[in-house]
Structure 1
Amino acid sequence: MPGERFDTWAAGEGYERYMGRWSRRVAEVFTDSLGVGPGARWIDAGCGTGALAGAVAARCRPGLVLGVDRSAAFVAAARAATAPAGTPGPVFAVADAQALPVRDGAFDAAVSALALNFLPAPGAAVAEAARAVRPGGLVAAYVWDYAEGMGLLGHFWDAAVATDPSAAALDERRRFPLCRPEPLRTLWAGAGLDAVRVVPVEVATPFAGFADLWEPFLAGQGPAPGYVASLAPAARGRLRDALARALPVRADGAIALTARAWAVSGRRTGR
């Protein structure tokens, strides 16, 4: 896939400012909706900088939260986050979501945030999550609605294509057809999960000004920032100016956008 060369995940701080801060907002709504009782054992597959694992620890009174990610830098960033006072902090390890280093049925819930579409074999990852939970256990995830629900990325890729038509092949709205309700339902059903449901989760993504929106793109963490990092200074400047012209900027300079994720869940069958 053409855009894969820009899918860089090597600096947790850069990713956190670019997308992690918005993932944390979705994680709070997502975890509250799952209905998993206290004392449960959770695994967060593809945990990134720990947004979802942290939300589980803070809001769900878990018995255990294990977060795993292929990026050692992201795992280090997740470990550096402070656990909420009075709650058990998550445990993090470097591991592949497509080959979880855990025994069958070891967890009550397996969750994932914004990772499935970046995996070479998302079906294998869902099957691994199903293997890792007990019969009746929950497997759930959320991914961005790239096609229609990401105001920030929609404006970005429109500006990118306007200044560089070849950027169309990198546009996440085209790259990730998995991130829609029907493909997600099919993926969960293919892993043998029952009671599959897909629901939208929408959060506000406010920016204090254009610098607050643009500067995270310069950190090179993720597809769009990876593309920005590849540009010569003049081309980067043209993209920046085109994006600034296209955004709905308020009189005080603030920019109010929204982001929508699709949350999918299902239960492992059997006894």
Structure 2
Amino acid sequence: MALFDVAADSYVRFMGRFSTPLSVPFADIGLAGVDSSARVLDVGCGPGILTSELVKRQGEANVSAVDPVEAFVQAAAASYPAADVRVAAAEALPYPDDTFGATLAQLVVHFMSDPVAGVGEMVRVTAPGGRVSACVWDNAGGTGASSSFWRVVQRYDPEAEGEKARPGSWGGDLTRMFTDAGLQDVEETLLTVRRDFATFEEWWEPFTLGVGPAGAYVRSLNQIEQTGLMGALREEHGGGPITIQASAWTATGLV
């Protein structure tokens, strides 16, 4: 998880811009039909963006959350002291079988070292009849939160890897993983959120914080290259206001 070896505040300033609004419709899907008193798990919780939405709906004591980054776990635990927040990888969840009524992973599957194992662990810790859900930005389709950034990058640097090849980033891939993991009644949909930025600088500045693949790419550039990229992006988007619509493939299934 070196891509997220950053301060919790930096993560929220970059990822939270889109994951916070996404957490509402994602929780609607992930908790559909789940009893309001059921225990639920947030896999790859970061500093607690989805955790916050789950706490509102299930109550703090019914929410568990895990993340491999200790700084993120500390931040989430400080915000929700009654929740069970632990340092753990998705591929080795520290809970017994059949513990939760719902297990959710928001914008995490594509960063798991072994996505199939991670989804399998989510299934294992979810009780029969419980719901497992995950979402990943539509990077392959070009409508992810950072897709407009990568389009400009690859115009000038065709060797830049981008995020299109990450697991779950295209329609049907999450469904394949869920079906292979033995989930039933798997449904996949595309959730879209919108964020308005008053100025180009408001949109651009979080890219300089080193968060995720986009932030790591910006950090890899020297000052001249970074200034050139910023200029190309400003030419693409204008000085502001800027509106970004971001879509995420979302799959849910029953154990």
Q: Same fold (TM over 0.5)?
A: yes
Deviation of 1:205 (Å): 1.6
Name which of 46, 49, 58 aligns with 1:48.
46
Which string of whole-angstrom CA distances, capped at 9 and with x for unpartnered residues, describes residues 136-169 of structure 1? 11111111111235365222112212333322xx
The answer to whether structure 1 residue 113 and structure 2 residue 106 are counterparts is yes
Question: Could you tell me whether the CA contact under 8 Å between 1:108 and 1:134 is conserved in 2?
Answer: yes
Counterpart in the other structure of 2:89: 96
The answer to whether structure 1 residue 197 and structure 2 residue 193 are counterparts is no
Q: Which runs of 5+ in 1 are unaligned?
A: none
Name which of 203, 206, 209 aligns with 1:213.
203
Q: Which runs of 5+ in 2 are unaligned?
A: none
Counterpart in the other structure of 2:74: 76
Q: Which moved more, 1:30-39 or 1:185-194?
A: 30-39
The AA in structure 1 aligned to 2:200 is F
Taking structure 2 as the reference length, the TM-score comes to 0.93
Q: How does 1:1-271 map to 2 (within 5 A)?
A: 7-33=3-29, 34-35=31-32, 36-61=34-59, 64-81=62-79, 83=80, 89-148=82-141, 150=143, 152-167=145-160, 170-173=161-164, 175-247=165-237, 253-268=240-255
Give percent identity, aligned residues only.
37
Q: Give the Cα separation in 2 of the matches to 1:208 and 1:188.
A: 39
The AA in structure 1 aligned to 2:230 is R
Which string of whole-angstrom CA distances, capped at 9 and with x for unpartnered residues, describes residues 16-38 of structure 1? 11112311111111112332221
Q: Give the Cα separation in 1 of the matches to 2:186 and 2:60.
A: 23
Taking structure 1 as the reference length, the TM-score comes to 0.87
The AA in structure 1 aligned to 2:222 is A
Q: Give the Cα separation in 1 of the matches to 2:231 and 2:21.
A: 29
Q: Give the Cα separation in 2 of the matches to 1:146 and 1:79.
A: 31
The AA in structure 2 aligned to 1:20 is G
Question: Could you tell me whether the CA contact under 8 Å between 2:144 and 2:248 is conserved in 1?
Answer: no
The AA in structure 2 aligned to 1:205 is R
Question: Could you tell me whether the CA contact under 8 Å between 2:142 and 2:148 is conserved in 1?
Answer: no
Deviation of 1:180 (Å): 2.2
Q: Give the Cα separation in 2 of the matches to 1:143 and 1:165.
A: 23
Which string of whole-angstrom CA distances, capped at 9 and with x for unpartnered residues, describes residues 114-142 of structure 1? 11001111010111011101111111111
RMSD over aligned Cα atoms:
1.9
Which string of whole-angstrom CA distances, capped at 9 and with x for unpartnered residues, describes residues 200-220 of structure 1? 111112112111111101110
Runs (4 or more) in structure 1 with deviation over 4 Å come to none
Q: Give the Cα separation in 2 of the matches to 1:141 and 1:204.
A: 20
How many residues were matched structurally?
253
